Amino acid sequence: MAVTIKDVAKLANVAPSTVSRVIANSPRISQKTKDKVREAMEKLGYHPNFNARSLANKSTNTIGIVMPSSANKAFQNPFFPEVMRGISTKAHQEGFGLYLSTGQTEDEIFEEVVHMVQGGRVDGIILLYSRINDRIMPYLQQQNFPFVLIGRPYGDYQGITYVNNDNYKAAKTVTEYLLLLGHHHIAFIGGELDFVVTVDHKKGYEQALQNANLPLNDEYVVFQQELQEGGQDAIIQLMSLTQPPTALVVSDDIMTFGVMRMLSEMGIRVPDDISIVSFNNVLISELSSPPMSTVDINIFGLGFEATNLVIEKIKQPSLEPKNVIIPHKLVKRQTCKKVVFQNS
């Protein structure tokens, strides 16, 4: 049996409640008693029981991390480890622990979240993604449970704390950049369409084209899973068009890897035959050949700031909802090139 607060109390000749106060470093305990108790703790190798503490306290000092329904697949995208780095760093600074969701389907995850919340397993939750018509966010809000979203809520949700990039503007900017390089046939390869980020990217892309008085071509817009395979499928589809694009806006670096790989197999050169701008700037992005131009969204910062916000919310539940926009910046590498002549 582990050593408890009572054992310490006995050895130090004080009441259990006094020991508890020493643990909390209560100012109303004499230094002398503190020393005596601490010595006893040391001697017995005492460590507070986490569950008992949480039960009495109604707080766990733990943050729940909710991955997209395909937790399994998600780990294949370097976005998640990187955002975890940010979360982990801040959580550690603040003395919070991390509890991970493991569910594979949307329903399983929802159940997990309910358990975390109702079971008092975590004090707050970080949603690592924002999906259209997701049940979790409304549930959390209705429960008035501290949480923060990485991404932005879709639709008319009010009062939700979130951390996001300005994905619309970023997409608009990169499209304009390609426009300035002389491209008129710019395609868009988005991630899954029910992710809000995909919607925002698409809007930015379209707005840029419209501002340039270019027609929106449905054939130039495709959506795929944010995986290498997704990129491959997408580019096959695009290059099969009678008028294939000369430039690409791709929602995710990992897809871009797939795109570039397939392009290389087809003998199409980047950037000579086709230009590409991508999103995320994950760590390995600079390792493509040629190294890809991509929008750095500061993934680490997203995680770090999200954690900061949940912890704030946990400590002061009445706090006004906050929205933090993490700045992005285009990292120009070698996948974009000025159009020399346009064959249409």
Partner DNA sequence: TTGTATGCGTTATCAG
Partner DNA sequence: CTGATAACGCATACAA
**Residue 221: strand, helix, or coil:** strand
Instruction: Report whether 289 contacts 72 (CB < 8 A).
Output: no
DSSP 101: -
Element (H, E) at 167: helix 167-180
Tell me whether residue 40 or residue 302 sits nearer to DNA (CB atom).
40
Among a second copy, DNA, none, the one that 331 touches (CB under a kind-dependent 5 to 8 A) is none
**Residue 45: strand, helix, or coil:** coil
**Residue 323: strand, helix, or coil:** strand
CA atoms within 13 A on the CB side of 225: 11
Using the structure block, give the residue that is written with the tokens 């954690």. 307
Shortest Å distance, C-beta 55 to DNA:
4
- Does residue 293 interact with a second copy by CB under 8 A? no
Stretch of residues binding a second copy (CB under 8 A), selected from 73-81, 150-158, 192-200, 325-333:
73-81
- Does residue 75 interact with a second copy by CB under 8 A? yes
Tell me whether residue 21 or residue 172 sits nearer to DNA (CB atom).
21
- Please give the structure tokens belonging to residue 115: 């358990």
Among DNA, a second copy, none, the one that 173 touches (CB under a kind-dependent 5 to 8 A) is none
Stretch of residues binding a second copy (CB under 8 A), selected from 4-12, 42-50, 175-183, 309-317:
42-50
CA atoms within 13 A on the CB side of 307: 28
Query: Which of positions 97-126 make contact with a second copy (CB under 8 A)?
Result: 97-100, 102-104, 108, 114-115, 118-121
| Torsion angle (degrees, nearest 10) of CA 74, 79, 80, 85 | 170
Among a second copy, DNA, none, the one that 18 touches (CB under a kind-dependent 5 to 8 A) is DNA
Interface ranges with a second copy (CB under 8 A):
2, 45, 47-52, 54-55, 60, 62, 71-72, 75-76, 78, 80-82, 84-85, 88-89, 91-92, 96-100, 102-104, 108, 114-115, 118-121, 228, 257, 261, 264, 283-284, 287-289
